[in-house]
Structure 1
Amino acid sequence: MIPTVKLNNDVEMPQLGYGVFQVPNDETAAAVTQALEAGYRSIDTAAAYQNEAGVGQALAASGLDRSDLFVTTKLWNADQGYDSTLKAFDQSLSLLGLEYLDLYLIHWPTPARDLYVDSWRALEQLYADGRVRAIGVSNFQPEHLDRLAQSSRITPAVNQVELHPYLRQDEVRAYGGDFGIRTEAWSPLAKGGTLLDEPVVAKLAALYGRTPAQIVLRWHLQLGNIVIPKSVTPARIRQNLDVFDFTLTDDDLTAISTLDRNERTGPDPDAFNVA
Structure 2
Amino acid sequence: MPELPEVETTRQGIAPHCEGQTIRQVVVRNPRLRWPVPDDLPQQLEGQTIRTVERRAKYLFLHLDTGSVIVHLGMSGSLRVITDDSAPMRHDHVEIFLDNHRSLRFNDPRRFGCWLWTTDWSQHPLISQLGPEPLSDDFNGAWLFRLSRQKQTPIKSFIMDNHVVVGVGNIYANEALFKAGIHPKRKAGRISLDRYHRLADAIRETLQAAILMGGTTLRDFVNSEGKPGYFAQSLLVYGKGGTLCPDCNTSLKDIRMNNRSTVYCPRCQR
Calculate the TM-score normalised by the size of structure 1.
0.28
Higher strand share: 2
Higher helix share: 1
Q: Who wins on radius of gyration, i.e. which is larger?
A: 2
